[in-house]
Chain A
Amino acid sequence: MQRRRFTTGAISALAVLGLVVSGCAQASDSASQTTATPPPTTAAETSSAAGSSDAPTSSSEATGGSGGSSETTESSAGGDGLSPTSMSDDPKPLIAIVSKGFQHQFWQAVKSGAESEAAKLGVEITFEGPASESEVEAQIDQLTQAIAKKPAALGFAALDSKAAAPLLQQAADADIPVIAFDSGVDSDIPLTTASTDNKAAAAEAAKHMSELIGGSGKVALVVHDQTSASGTERRDGFIEWMEANAPDIELLEPQYGGGDQAKSADITKSIIAANPDIKGIYGSNEGSAIGVVKGVEESGATGITVIGFDSGKAQIDAINSGIMAGAITQNPVGIGEKTVQAAVAALQGETLPKIIDTGFYWYDKTNINEPQIQAVLYQ
C-alpha cells in the first residue's frame, strides 16, 4: 500500500517534471521566435537547432573584426562594414541579452527598445532575466547558458558583478564582446556601459524635493533595497545632495520595502505615524513610489510632498491627480536601444565610449504630456 503510493507519487512527479520541461522548451522556442521579427525566412532558420551550428562561425568572424583590428581578419569579416544588407544574407548575428529581470514594466520597456533596435539593425536578440532582482544565482545560470549559445555579442546587466566576473572572462576569452547595461559592471571586460546615472538622477529628485517643501522640514526615504547598486545610488545621491545643499532638511533613517507596494505602503504609514510633521517622502523605484502614494492615501494625511522614481500607469495617475508631485524617469527604451546599438557597433569594429549615458528626466503635472516625456514613460 505504502509502496504503491510511493510509485504512483514518483510516476506523477516524473510526469510533472516532463510537463515542466516541455513547457520550458516551448517557452524558449516562443521567446526566440518573438525576437526574430523582420524577414520571416531567416527567422525560421535561426529558431531551429541549425542556428547553433552557424552561430559560432559568424561570431568569430565578427568579433575578429572588432577585437583585433589586424588586417588578416578583415577579409573574412566582410569588411564592407556597416551595410545591413550583407548582414541579412548570412544568418543574422545573435546578441544574447541577460537582464536583471523580465516581468517588471521597466524591463519590458528595455526589452521592447532592444527588440525594435534589433529589427532596425538586422540582428537577432534573445532577452531573459531572473524572476526577481534578488536571484543572483538564477541570473548566473542564464548568463552561462547565454555564453554557451556562442552569441555574436552579449548584453548584460549584473545583479552581482563580482559573481559574474569569471563568466565575463570566459566570454572575453571566446572573443564575445560584452556590453553592460543598466548598472555598471565592476570589470574591464565590458566595452561600454549603457546606463542611467542613478546618483545624478537621485540628486535631481532631492533638488525638486527641497524646492517643493521650501528648503526645511523632515523628509523620509522608502528605498527598494539596500544592496544593489541602483538602490544604494538612488539613496546616496538623494542623501548627499540634501546634506550638501539643504542644511535645514532633516532626513529620517531610510526604510527598505523591497519594491513591494503593500510593504512600502505599510512602511509609509508608520513613518507618518511616527512623524506627524513629515513634509516629504521619496520612493526610489516604481513599487516603492506607488507604495508611498498608497500609504499617504490610506493614512489620510495631507500636505505631504511625494516624489517618485521610474514610471508606470499608477505613478502617472498619481501625478495627474496631484497626489505625487513628480518623479524621475529613466529612459528604459533608450537603454535597450543603446545596448543593441553598442553591440552592433562593437561587431563592426567601432570603438565605444566607456559609458553611454542613457539620460533621465524630471516629469510632473506641467510637462507630463510633452512628447519628449511621453516617449520615455512606460505604462
Chain B
Amino acid sequence: MSTAIAPVDAGPRKSSDLRGRLEQLLAFAGLIVIVVFFAIANENFRTFSNITAILFSTVVIGILALGTTFVIITGGIDLSIGTGMTLCAVMSGVFLINWNLPLGLGLLLTVLFGGLIGLVNGFNVAILGLPPFIATLAMMLVAQGLALVLSNSAPIYFSVLPAFSEISTGEIIPKVPNAVLVLLVLAVLAAILLGRTLFGRYTFSIGSNEEATELSGINTRKWKLIIYTVAGLFTGIAGIMISARLGSAQPATGQGYELQAIAAVVIGGTSLTGGKGSIVGTVIGALIISVLNNGLRIMSIPQEWQNVILGLVILGAVYADMARKRTT
C-alpha cells in the first residue's frame, strides 16, 4: 500500500520535509524569543514554580490541540472538542461517582466515550459527507446540552475519590505535576502516530490531495473515520485531566477551548487547508499561547491588551502560512 501512494507524494515530500523542519524552527524561535523577552523583562517569570505553572496551564488545551492536529492536517476541523471535553468530564463523574465504577475502568470508559463522540463526527464527515465545520458545530451543541442534562446542570464532585485528583496534581517526579507528564507522553505518542505510521502518512496524504489518495487505492473514508475517532480519544483524556484538576466536573465550561486549541495548532505551523503540520509544532504553539498569557499577566498588562496581542500572534501565524504557500 505504501508503494501505491509513492507516486503521489514521494517527490515533494523530501523538500517539504525540509521546509517543515524550517517552519518548526521558526515557531520554536518565536517561542524562545518571547521566553527570553519575558525572562529579561520580569525576574518573577524565571522562577521554577512559574515555569511549572506555565506547563500546567498548557495541559488541557495542549491535549485537545494534539488530537485536532490530525483532523486539521486532513483539511478538516473539529469544533466539538471543547464541549466534547466537558461532556467527557461529566461522563467521568457519572462513571466514577454515580455508578461507583473502579477508577481504571471509569477512566477507560471516559476515554472510549470521547472516542465515540469522535466516531459520530467521523461518520458524519467521512461516510455521510457533511462539511466538517457543520457536523462538528452540531456536535458541539449536542455535547454541551448533554453535559448539562447528564449532570442535572450541577457540578459532580470527586472529593470522595482523592486518587482521581492525583492524576492531575500528584507528583510522580518531584515538583512536576503529573498532568505535565501526561501531556508529554501523549505528545510523544501523537508524534509517533503522525510521523512513523501508515496512519500518519494517510493523514497527510488525505490532506494534500484526497482524490489522488482515493485513486491510489486507499479507503479515505475509513481513514477519516479513524482520524476523527482519534481526535475524540484525545477529547476524552482532556476531559479526565480537567475534571481531575478541578476535583469536579463542571458542566457549564468548555466552550471556547476548541478555538484556543485550534489557535495552538495554527500557531504551530499546521495549515488550515490541510496537508501540512506537525505535533512538535502544535506543542510549541500551545506553549506560545500559555507563555504569552502568563508573561503578560505577570507584567500586569491589562487583560484587554492581552487578548489583542494573542490575536495578533494568531494573525501572524496565518500570514506566515499564506506566505509559505505563495513561495511553493
* A residues whose Cβ falls under 8 Å from a Cβ of B: 5-6, 8-9, 12-13, 16, 102-105, 108, 131-132, 226, 252-253, 255-256, 260-262, 265-267, 269-271, 273-276, 287, 290, 294, 297-300, 312-314, 317
Contacts and interface: CB of A to CB of B under 8 A. Distances in A.
A72 to B, nearest CB: 46
Interface stretch (B53-61, B64-72, B73-81, B191-199): B53-61
Interface of B: 42, 44-45, 47, 49-50, 53, 56-57, 60, 124, 128-130, 134, 138, 144, 148, 153-155, 157, 159, 169, 177, 242, 245-248, 250-253, 255, 290, 293-294, 297-300, 302-304
B155 A270 contact: no
A273 B57 CA distance: 14
B128 A273 contact: no
Contacts of B302: 253
Nearest to B299: A274
Contact of B255 (A102, A132, A256, A297): A132
Contact of B153 (A9, A108, A267, A290): A108
Contact of B154 (A6, A105, A274): A105
12 contacts: A9-B130, A103-B153, A131-B144, A226-B303, A256-B303, A260-B253, A262-B57, A266-B56, A266-B293, A275-B44, A298-B177, A314-B248
Chain A contact residues: over half helix, strand or loop, or mixed? Answer: helix
Nearest to A7: B129
B252 A103 contact: yes
Given A5-B129, A226-B303, A270-B297, A300 B252 contact: no
B153 A274 contact: no
Contacts of A103: 148, 153, 251-252
Nearest to B51: A273
Given A5-B128, A273-B53, A313-B157, A262 B253 contact: yes
A6 B130 CA distance: 8
Given A102-B153, A103-B148, 15 more contacts: A8-B128, A9-B130, A226-B303, A255-B297, A261-B250, A262-B246, A266-B53, A266-B57, A269-B50, A274-B42, A298-B177, A313-B157, A314-B155, A314-B157, A314-B248
A253 B303 CA distance: 9
B165 to A, nearest CB: 10
Nearest to B242: A262
A9 B253 contact: no
Nearest to A6: B129
Contact of A273 (B44, B130, B153, B242): B44
Given A252-B300, A262-B246, A274-B300, A132 B252 contact: yes
A101 B252 CA distance: 10
Contacts of B304: 226
Contacts of B130: 9, 12-13
Given A273-B47, A299-B53, A314-B247, A266 B294 contact: yes
Contacts of B155: 105, 312-314
A312 B246 CA distance: 14
A185 B55 CA distance: 43
Contacts of B299: 274
A150 to B, nearest CB: 28
B49 A299 contact: yes
A5 B57 CA distance: 42
Contacts of A298: 53, 56, 169, 177
Contacts of A270: 50, 53, 293-294, 297-298
